[in-house]
Amino acid sequence: MEIRYFDNSATTRIKEEVINEMFPYLSVQYGNPSSIYSIGRAAKRAIEEARGKVASLINCKPEEIYFTSCGSESDNTALKGIAYLNKQKGKHIITSKIEHPAILHSCQNLEKHGFEVTYLDVDKNGLINLEKLKNSIRKDTILISIMFANNEIGTIQPVEEIASIAHKNNTIFHTDAVQAVGNIEIDVQKMNIDMLSLSGHKIYAPKGVGALYVRKGIEFERFMDGGHQEKNKRAGTENVAEIVAIRESSRNSRKKFKTISK
């Protein structure tokens, strides 16, 4: 029986050409990116090229991209990384009731550790109310995390307005853009986004790779202790083949947007 698949927000099929680009890094190009000899340097180069491609997809600097193991890890890192580093400044976080479990459960976890979270309601279209957002901001609010596009009903939040409200109140703005990246053209500079999560398997790369964008100058606590990978922010030998895959799907998404905007 032929399978017709209609659930690209659950996951996407990996593009054939993406698999082909991955192959060498699963076989002959097996170097550890931290090794200083040539096979290691080749792996490192592939990762840095990928960082550039992911960066250009959302219009940030390559050094603002941190590779992770999935969208959930990016969300966890953003929330806990900001919360734990800023706990002297404040312990209040604002999010919405319709976030992905990676955000909602991270918030619940933080509540167990003394943080306070406001979960904003949404209207019948799934949109948060900006006035309510403004009213829920407190002196000790350290982070606002609102998803870009919802994974079940597809609502797109007014992220630019949310970012500007956050910044007027000296608060960091993170967005879970796992469902938006590759579907909506995102410019983190124009939109004034401080942190953004994305995931490989929602954009035609495999499951098990993601990225977190963090605007230069914003400090966060690392989520994974160990080696010095990812500028000391995310330990663990890099998943080179999958990072190469996300490089290819970022390149493809970028191409798609360029054709549309012409």
Query: Contact residues for ligand PLP (CB under 6 A)?
Result: 70-72, 75, 100, 102, 147, 151, 176, 178-179, 199, 201-202, 210
Report the length, in residues, of the chain.
Answer: 262
Q: Report d(CA 71, CA 101) in Å as an integer.
A: 11
Nearer to ligand PLP, 101 or 227 (CB): 101
Residue 99 beta carbon to ligand PLP: minimum distance, rounded to whole angstroms:
8
Nearer to ligand PLP, 92 or 202 (CB): 202
Residue 242 beta carbon to ligand PLP: minimum distance, rounded to whole angstroms:
11
Position closest to ligand PLP via CB: 71
Residue 179 beta carbon to ligand PLP: minimum distance, rounded to whole angstroms:
5
Number of neighbours of residue 254 by Cβ within 10 angstroms = 18
How far lies 40's CA from each of 33, 64, 140, 210, 235, in Å? Answer: 5, 23, 45, 22, 17
Residue 64 beta carbon to ligand PLP: minimum distance, rounded to whole angstroms:
20
For residue 2, give both structure tokens.
């032929």
For residue 26, give both structure tokens.
């699963």
Reported as type and span, the H/E element at residue 58 is helix 38-58
Residue 147 beta carbon to ligand PLP: minimum distance, rounded to whole angstroms:
6
CB 165 within 8 A of CB 131: no
Nearer to ligand PLP, 31 or 77 (CB): 77
Reported as type and span, the H/E element at residue 56 is helix 38-58
Nearer to ligand PLP, 29 or 151 (CB): 151
Q: Report d(CA 164, CA 261) in Å as an integer.
A: 26
Kindly report the backbone phi and psi dihedral angles of residue 155, in degrees, each rounded to the nearest multiple of 5, phi listed first: -60, 135
Q: Report d(CA 71, CA 59) in Å as an integer.
A: 19
Nearer to ligand PLP, 72 or 157 (CB): 72
Residue 165 beta carbon to ligand PLP: minimum distance, rounded to whole angstroms:
21
Nearer to ligand PLP, 91 or 253 (CB): 253
How far lies 45's CA from each of 29, 59, 232, in Å? Answer: 11, 20, 18
> How far is C-alpha 117 from the chain's CA centre?
21
Residue 202 beta carbon to ligand PLP: minimum distance, rounded to whole angstroms:
6
Nearer to ligand PLP, 147 or 166 (CB): 147
